[in-house]
Amino acid sequence: MSLVNLAELLKPANEQKYAVGAFDVFSIEMASAVIRAAEETKSPVILAYVEAFDTLVSMESYVAFLRRLAEDASVPVCIHLDHATNLEIIQRAVRCGFSSVMIDASDKSFEENIAATAEVVGICKPLGISVESELGHVSGNEGMYADDTGVYTEVESAKEFVDRTGVDALAVAIGTIHGVYKSTPVLSFDRCAQIKSATNNLPLVIHGGSGLSDEDFRKVIAAGINKVNIFTDLTIAAMEYLTSDEITNKTHYFSASMQVTEVIKQATIAKLQRFGCIGKAV
């Protein structure tokens, strides 16, 4: 199976109406746990990296490790640069072996977002590297709910954006947020389905997938979502173990690391079950 780009990974997901999990990982434990979960469940998977992780270990060093994991895996794996906001970080990603990148210029004007995305597509596509972009804005922990529809993705804008950029996948703002939800999110499933239709069945993405209910996942996938980004729920699972009564001042660090890998693996499997991708790595 080994390393694939995002377009290859999402094509069957789009055709068969399931979603692939994109898990932000910044350590050996996290990456290994996600791969083990994917292999145990025979699921395609995306290992994602954000620029902030560069403060722990350089992108070049870590991605060499991720590529080896992907190449040795028994399931298809995409290595994806998440939320890149500038061309410099994308050029680094291209040089060190990512199979997919996300250019996030969603905080800029519509025309600036198109220009930035089209430039990245022009660099990456000839190299077989997929490109994801975002239109609308998915907030952070400050929250974005039904009364904030001004930052939701507009259907006609999405159609024009895709036509003019040639992106492989589009992240849409339909009511999710990054981080921990302070209240129940109100998702616009109809808007998602309309965007899917207007963009000629392009693979759609939601960021802020941690904390959504099983019913939410079922509905957004039915409405056209093929990639779901997860980070917070994996870190919560790890921290719940690390702050539990099982950890004492006599716990060996290696043993703790092994157990963290296991709890992250189980948290990943729980997400994969919701996405409908289990058994799809054939």
Amino acid at 118: A
DSSP category for residue 3: B
- Which residue is catalytic, options 82, 104, 168, 216? 82
Judge whether 83 and 104 are in contact, CB under 8 Å.
yes
Q: Assess whether 82 carries a catalytic annotation.
A: yes
Is residue 69 within 8 Å of 31, Cβ to Cβ? yes
What number of helices (H) and strands (E) belong to the chain?
A: 10, 8
Structure tokens of 143? Answer: 């929250």
N-term to C-term CA, the chain: 9
**How far is residue 87's CA from residue 259's CA, in Å, rounded to a whole number?**
38
Query: Are the beta carbons of 272 and 37 closer than 8 angstroms?
Result: yes
Active site amino acids: 82
